[in-house]
Chains A and B, each alone.
Chain A
Amino acid sequence: MRDRLLLLSLLGLGLMAAAPFLLQAMLPANQAQFWTANVLGRAAVFGIIAMSLTFLATYGGFISLAQMMIAGVAGYAVAVFVEGAVPRIVGGLGYGLAIPLGVLAATVMGLIVGAVSVRTRDIYLLMITLALSMGVFRFVETNIAWFNGYEGIRNVVGPELFGLGFRDPWLFYYVALGTAVLLLAGVLYLVRSPFGLVLQGIRDNPRRVAALGYNVALHRIAAFGVAGFIAGCGGVLATIYNIGISPGTIGLGATVNVLIMSVIGGLGHPVGAFLGSLIFTIFDTFAANLYDRDRFNTLIGAVFLIIVLVSPDGVIGIGARLRRLLGGSKP
């Protein structure tokens, strides 16, 4: 079972690494580039943000609606401090400093969200994280001096790497993929550490965790900090992908989209976030071709309903469900 999982993961990773080459071989050049950056690259970036939610949900049992806002904090921190952004709010920093600063800001915001919501769970946790998100959203939208209000901050183009602009489709794709793989590997490592095991203990039985001598609040806040770090990495990449950031990026719609990605993919395993994000991105991109651009919400809503009805544990649960249906292997 373990070997098969490892084989499957390596196969998936190989496929993702080879994807730009395969696309180039199969499609005209401009379409191949579009798929590489705007479908696969974007899916990896939003998959990272969705994974921060999946990490909390899968291992801690916490559904947080603050993850898109936390990603936005990273994006805004980069946009405010980096040189070249329009309008110039603070500026002066290169990407080498602005990006770690952005990720740090998101981690701190994650810790703050964790600390504020430390005593709540289930629907109350959902509501308090949503309230925090909307609070930050409104603050950013109405604040001109620091965040340029409704307009947001533009021209965050990303650093140059290997003599290429960051937005070169291949470079962007491989950076996004590499970041996603590293973060996923990090999560899988972490959940077998004492911290990760205790987090799963809190999910199953917080009272027992406390009785065993652990500080439940500390572990919860740390988990939100880790999720904040992950969301921050996604937020920086998303800001560079969009060449800037505006309040709409962290609005209610965006917040719900991240939740939809996570649920479509499945909350049983962090890799589900990337599957969900890929499906979401494909529908988002091609809704116009499939039906009508304005009907995207109807379309993704229908997909969401079908997946949740057929397999409540998302796309990731479909494989196991099929195997059981066919009666092939043990549950």
Chain B
Amino acid sequence: MGRAPLVFEWIRVGKNRVVPAISLAGVSRRFGALQAVRDVTFDVQPGERRAVLGPNGAGKTTLFNTICGDFPPTAGSIRLFGTDITHLKPHERTRLGIGRTYQTSLLFNGLSVLDNLFVAVRGLRPNRFSFLRPSRGDDGMAKARELAERMRLSHLLDAEVVNLSHGQRRQLEVGMAMAGDPRVLMLDEPAAGLSPGDRPELLKLLRELPRTLTLILIEHDMDIALPAADIVTVMKDGEVVVQAPPDRIEDDPVVQAIYLGGGH
């Protein structure tokens, strides 16, 4: 199947004058003989909530990694608010305003919750390389506490991360990705492994995110992805196969074929 048509209307109505938050043009990523991502082209508008769906091995996480710089694309270009970031290193992209979480939590297990958040906050400040301990009134520390409160982790500030529950680790992941006040927040399966009880909590947390933030999330769970998203991109075998608003996704024959395994 060729490139998916842009089926939603609000992008056409005057929105094309706005510089997209993320703009992918012909992005591909190859690992040896494996073409993990193939010629992906789409724009994500500022403030948009975009969900990326697809079966395992569809190339969703690889696409994330090409956007965040972990694996630069082997072809195509990536723009962040008009700036070409195709060849930048991950930390340079972070400084330009991309925050991300990982499919499996990548946290600092030996450090406390507060230290994890503090390291995340300092990462984008000019004084990030410092041999001096933060003072009592350090605004980075204050910001870390504020993030902990927002992620409902205030009661665990001094707890070592290795002792946190899975749900708490996911919350901390989102908190750390938010630390640099990113313009684009990318969440890789934030609900993976969460108990059914923790899921509504996560959805609430996602919906509370400020609308100035552009959000891209990979999610298997349709109950999280569809209510959280404005537009859904469905991938299969490294390609984008459908792109549509959530209410049109469940009925889409291609999506049904992918998820139900039939040709109907």
A-side residues, CB < 8 A to B, are 189-190, 192-195, 197-198, 200-201, 203-205, 207-215, 218-219, 222
Residue of B nearest to A203 (CB): B110
Given contacts A189-B133, A211-B91, A214-B128, contact A204 B122 (CB under 8 A): no
Q: Tell me if B91 and A214 are in contact (CB < 8 A).
A: yes
Q: In the assembled complex, how far is the CB of residue A29 from the closest CB belonging to chain B, in whole angstroms?
A: 44
Partner of A212, one of B70, B131, B132, B180: B180
Q: Tell me if A212 and B130 are in contact (CB < 8 A).
A: no
Chief secondary structure at chain A's binding surface: helix
Given contacts A213-B128, A218-B129, contact A200 B110 (CB under 8 A): yes
Provide the bound-state CA to CA distance between A219 and B129, in Å: 8
Report 11 cross-chain contacts, Cβ distance below 8 Å, ordered by A residue. A193-B132, A200-B110, A201-B108, A205-B109, A208-B107, A209-B119, A211-B70, A211-B94, A211-B100, A213-B95, A222-B129
Q: Determine the chain B residues whose CB is within 8 A of the CB of A212 once the complex forms.
A: 91, 94, 119-120, 123-124, 176, 179-180
Within 8 A of A (CB), among B44-91: 68, 70, 89-91
Q: Tell me if B106 and A193 are in contact (CB < 8 A).
A: no
Residue of A nearest to B162 (CB): A204
Within 8 A of A (CB), among B249-263: none
Q: In the assembled complex, how far is the CB of residue B134 from the closest CB belonging to chain A, in whole angstroms?
A: 7
Residue of B nearest to A194 (CB): B130
Q: In the assembled complex, how far is the CB of residue A28 from the closest CB belonging to chain B, in whole angstroms?
A: 47
Q: Tell me if A213 and B94 are in contact (CB < 8 A).
A: yes
> Is B115 close to A, CB under 8 A?
yes
Partner of A205, one of B108, B115, B131: B108
Provide the bound-state CA to CA distance between A193 and B108, in Å: 15
Given contacts A200-B110, A213-B91, A213-B95, contact A195 B123 (CB under 8 A): no
Q: Determine the chain B residues whose CB is within 8 A of the CB of A207 once the complex forms.
A: 70, 90, 106
Provide the bound-state CA to CA distance between A208 and B108, in Å: 8
> Is B118 close to A, CB under 8 A?
yes
Q: Determine the chain B residues whose CB is within 8 A of the CB of A194 once the complex forms.
A: 118-119, 122, 127-130, 132, 134
Q: Determine the chain B residues whose CB is within 8 A of the CB of A219 once the complex forms.
A: 129
Task: Return the CB mask of B91-119 against A: 1 if under 8 Å, else 0.
Answer: 10011000010100011111100010011
Q: Tell me if B111 and A193 are in contact (CB < 8 A).
A: no
Q: In the assembled complex, how far is the CB of residue B130 from the closest CB belonging to chain A, in whole angstroms?
A: 5
Q: Determine the chain B residues whose CB is within 8 A of the CB of A193 once the complex forms.
A: 130-134
Provide the bound-state CA to CA distance between A214 and B123, in Å: 6
Partner of A201, one of B111, B129, B179: B111
Task: Return the CB mask of B111-153 against A: 1 if under 8 Å, else 0.
Answer: 1000100111011100111111110000000000000000000
Q: Determine the chain B residues whose CB is within 8 A of the CB of A222 once the complex forms.
A: 129
Given A204-B107, A213-B128, 20 more contacts at CB 8 Å? A189-B133, A194-B128, A194-B129, A195-B131, A197-B118, A201-B119, A204-B111, A205-B106, A209-B123, A210-B90, A211-B68, A211-B70, A211-B94, A212-B120, A212-B179, A213-B124, A215-B91, A215-B129, A218-B129, A219-B129
Q: Determine the chain A residues whose CB is within 8 A of the CB of B124 once the complex forms.
A: 212-213
Q: Determine the chain B residues whose CB is within 8 A of the CB of A200 once the complex forms.
A: 108, 110-111
Q: Determine the chain A residues whose CB is within 8 A of the CB of B132 once the complex forms.
A: 193-194
Q: In the assembled complex, how far is the CB of residue B217 from the closest CB belonging to chain A, in whole angstroms?
A: 17
Q: Tell me if A208 and B102 are in contact (CB < 8 A).
A: yes
Partner of B111, one of A189, A190, A197, A211: A197
Q: In the assembled complex, how far is the CB of residue B171 from the closest CB belonging to chain A, in whole angstroms?
A: 16
Q: Determine the chain A residues whose CB is within 8 A of the CB of B109 once the complex forms.
A: 204-205
Q: In the assembled complex, how far is the CB of residue A54 from the closest CB belonging to chain B, in whole angstroms?
A: 15
Q: Tell me if B180 and A213 are in contact (CB < 8 A).
A: yes
Residue of B nearest to A193 (CB): B133
Q: In the assembled complex, how far is the CB of residue B88 from the closest CB belonging to chain A, in whole angstroms?
A: 12
Cβ-closest 9 pairs across A and B: A213-B123, A212-B123, A208-B106, A204-B108, A213-B94, A194-B130, A201-B108, A213-B124, A193-B133
Q: Determine the chain B residues whose CB is within 8 A of the CB of A198 once the complex forms.
A: 119, 122, 128
